[in-house]
Amino acid sequence: MRIKSDETAKKFIDFWNHSNYFAIMKLTAPAKRALGDALAHAGQRSTRQREHVFSVLLDKRDHPTADEIYARARASMPAISLATVYNCLETLVGAGLVRQVNIEREPSRYCPNLHEHAHFHDQTSGRVYDIDLPDDFMTGLKQLLPAGYDAEHIELSFHGKTNANRVAKPTDKRQD
């Protein structure tokens, strides 16, 4: 491509440096396929913004708030707005790609871990950790329901603080 004038060259370089086309984080091929399939199944289409927000969530699985996702997304896609991030999150939750985690008196957080698991909210640090559950644990919980009832969804959250006598802090292989 040949650029005809210095002004045009300046505009092209500015576009290249600030364009959403080149600045977005890249999804792996399987993640991009999963995103496209889930969105299509939900009657939605994949967009650069949805791909970018999804990649931000997959990049650091620390249960971020929408504001935290927005700050991370803007680092590599400066033109994205907070409203777009909220709309993307709503679409990703609706398509079943992300779970919305609600903690009392706290902003919603978002979790891309779709396996059966619980959450632990460390009230000292504010962090949220995934807690793996035994395979038959949720089945056992569902059996506690009254006859004739079936739970479509179970959310299990633990809330507490780091034990002062404990040296090691909680860890989660899927985070950081």
pLDDT in tens, 114-124: 888 999 999 99
DSSP 98-130: SEEE--TTS--EEE---SSEEEEEETTT--EEE
Q: Read off the pTM.
A: 0.75
- Report pLDDT for 19: 41
In degrees and rounded to multiples of 5, residue 21 shows phi and psi of -65, -30
pLDDT digits (tens, 9 = 90+) for 36-54: 999 999 999 999 999 999 9
- Report pLDDT for 41: 95
Rounded Cα distance, 31 and 29, in Å: 6
Fold of the 115-176 domain: Dna Ligase; domain 1 (3.30.1490)
Same fold, 6-101 and 115-176: no
Q: Is the pLDDT confidence value at 17 over 60? A: no
Rg (alpha carbons) of the chain, rounded to whole number: 20
Between 48 and 166, the more confident residue is 48
Rounded Cα distance, 176 and 173, in Å: 8
The residue extents of the domains of the chain are 6-101, 115-176
**According to CATH, what is the number of the domain 6-101?**
1.10.10.10
